[in-house]
Amino acid sequence: MQFAKRNKKILTSFIFFLTILSDSCTEASPRRHISDSKIVSSESIFYSEILPSLSGKTVVLVTNPSGIGRYPEKILREFKANKVKIKHLIGLEHGFLGLEEDFSKTPVTVDSTFQLPIYHIYRVKNSEIPTLLKGTDAVIFDVLDMGMRCYTYLSVLKRLMDSLPDRDKSRFIVLDHPNPALYLGARGEQLEQKFINFAGEFPSLFMTGLTMGEAARFYNGEYLENSVKLEVISPKNLRRDFNWEKEGIPWTTPSPNLPTLDSAMNYLGLVLLEGVNVSVGRGTQAPFVYFGAPWMDEPDKIVSDLNEGSKGEYYYQSVFFKPSFGPFKGEICRGLRLTVVKRTYDPIRMAYQLIASLKKNYKDFKWRQYPDGTHNIDFLWGTERFRESIDSEVSYENFKESFSQVESQEKQKIRKYFLY
């Protein structure tokens, strides 16, 4: 009996030891492999179900590497197999390959891959867009959006929907994607008429609270009386509160300045630094991770206060960098590196407190202005209140309270257009 008890003890200890050893050798990963993802992409649905329905038709294609433009050879092969003719391409900011830092200097160029004209929509007059779309059976629109009004792809969507001729005949097909700001919901203020520009044209809050497909549904319903024959191809099994990495959704780069998900998460707030005289890391190995300027001496002196105000959601470290594009091109900059720890952070609060700190601590800080004296930040935010509140040393809490009612109303208004 005692022998049996002793053996049982040894066996139990051995099993416990193996369990501990197994756990210590297993790396806990916050990420899910793409092959294990339950999300069915809009791209796979498009090729299997939608493209065959366009057989014998002529289309206009709007895409880049964040959509089906990532694989142009497949577009050529599959469109040809289904007898779908591409009339021409519509060019977005950063070009068809998503590699260009500057806007095209001419309205139309010839794409080397497709050997077709590509019309750069930001160089084309609004009155000329209907001509570009006339005689086509469908517009296919597929790009990854950031869920923000100041991201120009949303302006392109609006301009094309506004200009679509023969709305009762042409199909407007949007391949939908999740975006990094979706779970944050609608935030910020409405765009004032005098601040409408290419980087701020869509009638929404600063953060739309919508996917690109939902934004198209919203605009069609609220502003075009549902006159556009809109078809949104939705990813299957997508939830509004999804976690990008845990769901195994691959990041597809929408521009050279958002190469990683970290850059995209930081962009939600750091984009507002484009309204002040700093570099946001464009033309470095870490765009929208690094930011700073040659005049930002001893950046460590503001790190403690900024980190304390972050509520543990993000933190800053001092860095050196030399941008090869944009402000301070070729100059050594002192600055900070932003690391987001909790994706639920408030990007607007982060940007507000950061810019307020830069203004308070550096005599060379300036709001970036256009030649006519207007301020870049006002066009990004949509009103003058972001800038004026910082200049008046208004707390973020009081600033946020000034548009809380607008936020609440907008969240109710857009809800009926949700797809997830």
> What is the tens place of the pLDDT at every residue in 212-229?
999 999 999 999 999 999
Res 35: pLDDT = 82
- Provide the 8-state DSSP code for 126: G
Regarding the domain with residue range 36-245, which homologous superfamily does it belong to in the CATH classification?
Answer: Uncharacterised protein PF07075, DUF1343 (3.40.50.12170)
Res 82: pLDDT = 98
Low-confidence ranges of the chain (pLDDT < 70): 1-29, 98-99, 101
Res 25: pLDDT = 43
β-strands 138-142, 171-175 pairing: parallel
- Provide the 8-state DSSP code for 295: T
Locate the domains of the chain by residue range.
Answer: 36-245, 261-382
Question: What three-state secondary structure class fits 171?
Answer: strand
Q: What is the signed CA dihedral for 47, 49, 50, 56, rounded to 10 degrees?
A: 90
- Provide the 8-state DSSP code for 250: P
Res 247: pLDDT = 86
Res 6: pLDDT = 54
Res 101: pLDDT = 65
User: Whose structure tokens read 């880049």?
Assistant: 64
Select from 44, 46, 114, 65 the least CA-distant residue to 85.
Answer: 114
Question: What three-state secondary structure class fits 175?
Answer: strand
One-letter identity of residue 214: E
Res 23: pLDDT = 45
Select from 139, 191, 204, 197 the least CA-distant residue to 165.
Answer: 139
Res 20: pLDDT = 41
The reply to whether CATH 3.20.110.10 applies to domain 261-382 is no
What's the full length of the chain, in residues? 420
User: Whose structure tokens read 């392109």?
Assistant: 156
